[in-house]
Amino acid sequence: MHRPTRRSFLGLGSTALAVAFTTGLADPWTAHAEVKGDYPFQLGVASGDPLPDRVILWTRLAVKPLEPLGGLPYNKIKVDWEIAEDEAFTRRAGHGSAWATPEYGHSVHVDAKGLRPGREYFYRFRTGGQISPVGRTKTAPAYGSSPEALRLAFASCASWQDGYYSAYRHLADENPDVVFHLGDYIYEYGIVPTGGNRNTPVPEQFRVQCDTLDRYRVQYGLYKSDPDLQAAHHRAPWIVTWDDHEVLDNWAGPYGPGGEVSEQDYLVIRANAFRAFWENMPVRVPAVQGPDARIYRRFTFGDLAEFNVLDTRQYRDDQVCGDGQQVDCADRLDPARQMLGAEQEKWLLDGLDATRAKWNVLAQQVAMIQLDYDQGPAQRLSMDLWDGYKAAKDRVLNGMVEREVSNPVVLTGDIHYNLAGELKANFDDPASRAVGVEFVGTSVSSGGNGNANTGLPPGGSDPANPHLRFSSYQRGYVSCEVTRSQWRADFKVVPYVDRPGAPVSTRASLVTLDGAPGLHAL
């Protein structure tokens, strides 16, 4: 059981204490709002895509989150919002109203502008006399400023039926400046009657895999009803991208997985998935209408760090050699193969050419570091990872070297393992110099409890992958402290996810130093 704290007040949202609204609105904010059966903010609130002068504020109205329209009528609903510099909302920085429309699942995206850079803010929504939970957010530092430090966390892969989200709760307690979510926020799979490891029954409609817009919407409704996930959203702005399970397992560009559905049906499914993603995420991208949506984008935190948020799914070529792990797949070496697509790849390299940041980051989905899954003489590589797109990987890594990019760092999710390693100009030559580092975060819950007895200790040696410096197969997230002299990554793990309330510990801490690509265990 969690003791009430300032953080639980902001995070849990079981009740929302609201101080009287200070000025300006004829209908003042009520003093207290009870969470009842008809409470419309059961999916919480969120913020995201922080810039120096603005941030996206999000909510989605639902009185019955497991129904397609959240149990609401097919009508638009007016929602008021406000943002302030203090929790009591006495120093208000902005306010207004927006429409929650049924066409977009009664979601609300407010781009709150006119804010001050590098500052903490608090926000909330109101409709029908009901007040939302209070969220905390933070703007990015001013362009051209020189911040001394940045605290961030990143996470990925949170299958609801695989276990509880204790990792999100601990992430929230760290009070980061920003959270990066690197994909698999939901899983498209049908859910067994018992709710899997959660042992929480779910309605019949959850048995089938997501394909329609309504089905994706209720999947998000189930996931976003989780109090630990809500707590993490309530504590910090998120910057999100998708991987495969927001759509279908291992989808690649215009290709669905394994020919299970026709190309035409797949594109309809993809359009539904993209629409539901937009409805449920605090993103500053146009409302999605169709099977295409640009979500790659860039965020700058003064001259300390610049983040290139990538999309490694929508523009890639199909996986070769039947996908999976393969030995001697010559097709993976085809120089024409694309992972990012020509337009996104050019955008990335042009941005890396122009950057003035000390740390230059790729926040993305699948492992870039070479991963040989065969401990013997053979080389067995995954065709779904960057290894299956070697020419594309070489263009990015060589492009960093040619442009003399300062301190490249890659943040990755997807594979349910913690990994830390050095990016090499030639992974097959152990003497090849490091050109950057990669931190791969494990899953929040996907894969179940994990195994604390497997992996590579910090600073250890893996004969098949000598560029690795750490690995573990546990659940959790990664917390990073970025300063002008070093980037420190703390791999936070929980011992179990098949029951709630797991404690957290630090499995490993590694640093890379400014101007010296490579990893050092602490």
Which of 233, 281, 241, 237 has the alpha carbon at shortest distance from 45? 233
Structure confidence at residue 263 as a pLDDT band (50, 70, 90):
confident
Q: Which of 4-18, 284-298, 339-353 has the lowest mean pLDDT?
A: 4-18
The Cα–Cα gap between 288 and 498 comes to 35
Mean pLDDT across the stretch 416-431? 94
pLDDT, one tens digit per residue, over 174-192 is: 999 999 999 999 999 999 9
Mean pLDDT across the stretch 415-434? 94
pLDDT, one tens digit per residue, over 207-217 is: 999 999 999 99
Where are the domains positioned within the chain?
1-139, 140-521
Residue 211 burial class via C-beta count within 10 angstroms: exposed 0-12, middle 13-18, buried 19 and up:
middle
The Cα–Cα gap between 299 and 308 comes to 7
Q: Is the pLDDT of residue 226 over 50?
A: yes
- Mean pLDDT, the chain, integer: 92
Write phi, then psi, for 437 (nearest 5 degrees): -135, 160
The Cα–Cα gap between 423 and 467 comes to 7
- Residue 10: the pLDDT is 36
Which of 463, 495, 437 has the alpha carbon at shortest distance from 377? 463
Quick one: tokens of 496? 């179990």
Q: Is the pLDDT of residue 22 over 90?
A: no
Q: Tell me, what amino acid is at 330?
A: A
Sequence-distant (6+) residues with CB within 8 A of 230 are: 11, 12, 13, 43, 44, 133, 224
- Cβ atoms within 10 Å of 2's Cβ, excluding its own: 13
Structure confidence at residue 438 as a pLDDT band (50, 70, 90):
very high
Would you say 469 and 460 are in contact if contact means Cβ atoms under 8 Å apart? yes
pLDDT, one tens digit per residue, over 302-357 is: 999 999 999 999 999 999 999 999 999 999 999 999 999 999 999 999 999 999 99
- Residue 255: the pLDDT is 82
The Cα–Cα gap between 241 and 251 comes to 15
Quick one: tokens of 516? 């010296």
Would you say 269 and 260 are in contact if contact means Cβ atoms under 8 Å apart? no
Write phi, then psi, for 512 (nearest 5 degrees): -125, 140
The Cα–Cα gap between 283 and 46 comes to 10
- Residue 323: the pLDDT is 95
Q: Is the pLDDT of residue 259 over 90?
A: no
Quick one: tokens of 67? 């129904």
Structure confidence at residue 295 as a pLDDT band (50, 70, 90):
very high
Q: Is the pLDDT of residue 16 over 80?
A: no
**Terminal-residue alpha carbon distance, the chain:** 33
String of DSSP letters for 339-371: SS-HHHHHHHHHHHHH---SEEEEE-SS--S--
What CATH superfamily is the domain 140-521?
Alkaline phosphatase D (PhoD) (3.60.21.70)
**H helix runs in 240-354, sequence order:** 263-280, 342-354
pTM strictly above 0.85:
yes
CATH topology for the 1-139 domain:
Immunoglobulin-like (2.60.40)
pLDDT, one tens digit per residue, over 83-103 is: 999 999 999 999 999 999 999
Q: Is the pLDDT of residue 3 over 50?
A: no
